Amino acid sequence: MDITDKFNKACDYLQTSYFVSLSDNYQLGAKAFPAPIVFSMLAGLLNGKILTIGVPGSGKTTVEEAVGSICYNLPIKTVRASILHGSGDQTEEKMIGRPDLAYLHRGEKSEEKVVWSNFANIPGPKIIDEVNRLPPAKQNVLLDVIDRGNFCYLNEVLPQDEMSVFATSNYPDAGNTVLIDPLRDRFDMSIEFLPSAGHVGAARKCKPNKALLEEIANCKNLLYEKDDRQAFREAINTISEPAEFKLFLDYLTCETSYDPQTGIRRPGEPDTGNNHYQNLLNRRIKKSIGCGRGIANGTVDYMKAIAHLSGLSEVTVPIAVSVLERSLAHRLEFTPEALTQANKDRNDDPHKAPLSQYCARKELKKVAQRFYEHLPDLKALNTALYCKKDQEAIAIATKNLRIHPYFDKTHSEMTTKAYDPTRL
């Protein structure tokens, strides 16, 4: 079966078996599926890490269980048994592993052995239910697990050949905590599950189809073997990344992270009061968490997958914007002014996006507009750099100083001399 057909078949099964609101449908060529299903499936096939947000009972964990079952050819009962549940009572021994006390009691050898948790042992999907109910100290335990796929306890390491992380999070209430910044940075995407309002009958009709995943034999044509996952990744690697697309990502990360006076905007340092960029993204955010790293390490694969599933041969800037709004919504902390304005504007949003995502979408579209306005000079600058025409590149950057951080950064890198430790 063609990989696009197989992907569409899995998404179609999920949307008819696990009812998800259709307000946020996402177009893939001639097909359209709920965005939470599309991006959850992509996380499962790309070894991704996704944070799903929503009110209790909106289907977050239930859908992710099914996605984990489909993407890794596992009985759904096995996936459910391995879920890590967020709680203040969690310990490292419950989350990761514990000493094998029976082995120690037998005293056969003077060495320690670990009994790994079901969460650590399951090959593939790692589901963390209500991750924001874990206190900060317990969130720290997950950092290396999510980032590198290494489960460590005592002196033993349990590496993961393939691993996708699905973490669910409710909106703030009395029982949860704020996610620490390093943990937020670990997730490629954040998506919202909307409740299925007004579709009680349709939701009830979905229920019988869920039983399919109880036994793998019932749905062999839906499930992904390791070779299927590898074929999917190889297919998206054929999608090209044109120079304009790469330039857009560099242009964007300069807006999110660069400051001409301090290099970067560091948390805790006073605002520089730079008035040159009042209309740019970096003046609309209070804090940026790992945007450059996040885009480079995972987000581009989602973009290439969307391009492939849409029948395109290369990634485009509009596809990048549609993915980035979900990648940056949990990484950027917008100013109160930006959020207030976005809240006024989103009354007409047909997709009913959460405020952080809508604000990210709105600002990203403005970034794209500025990018196309500056594109002639950006291309000229990069051509000069590629041809090693340093003076020409400096002249182009100088002409555009204080217009955009990309030009300021390039000018600074080309004109700043190395620090000389032999001189005061």
The pLDDT tens digits of the residues spanning 195-207 come to 666 556 655 666 5
Which pLDDT score is estimated for 271? 65
Asked if the model's pLDDT at residue 316 lies above 80, the reply is yes
Average of per-residue pLDDT values in the chain: 87
The pLDDT tens digits of the residues spanning 268-307 come to 666 666 656 778 888 888 888 877 766 777 799 999 999 9
Integer Cα distance of 419 and 29 in angstroms: 53
**Mean pLDDT, residues 69-74 taken together:** 92
Q: How many CB atoms lie within 10 A of CB 329?
A: 24
342 close to 359: Cβ distance less than 8 angstroms: yes
Q: How many CB atoms lie within 10 A of CB 3?
A: 20
The pLDDT tens digits of the residues spanning 101-157 come to 777 767 666 677 899 999 999 999 999 999 999 999 999 999 999 988 889 998 899
Predicted TM-score of the model (pTM)? 0.91
Name the least confident of 68-72, 147-151, 247-251, 343-347.
343-347
| Angle ∠(280,286,291) on CA atoms, nearest 5 | 75
The pLDDT tens digits of the residues spanning 205-230 come to 665 555 666 655 566 678 899 999 99
Q: Name all domains of the chain by residue range, CATH numbers in brackets.
A: 3-88+120-224 (3.40.50.300), 243-415 (no CATH)
Which pLDDT score is estimated for 215? 58
Which pLDDT score is estimated for 312? 95
Which pLDDT score is estimated for 243? 94
| φ, ψ at 45 (rounded to 5°) | -90, -20
Which pLDDT score is estimated for 20? 65
300 close to 241: Cβ distance less than 8 angstroms: yes
The pLDDT tens digits of the residues spanning 76-95 come to 889 999 999 998 889 999 99
What dihedral do alpha carbons 48, 53, 56, 59 form, nearest 10°? Answer: -50
Integer Cα distance of 371 and 318 in angstroms: 12
Higher-pLDDT residue of 52, 59: 52
**Mean pLDDT, residues 3-28 taken together:** 84
Which pLDDT score is estimated for 109? 66
- Percent share of the chain, pLDDT over 70: 88
Asked if the model's pLDDT at residue 247 lies above 90, the reply is yes
Q: How confident is the model at residue 396 (pLDDT cuts 50, 70, 90)?
A: very high
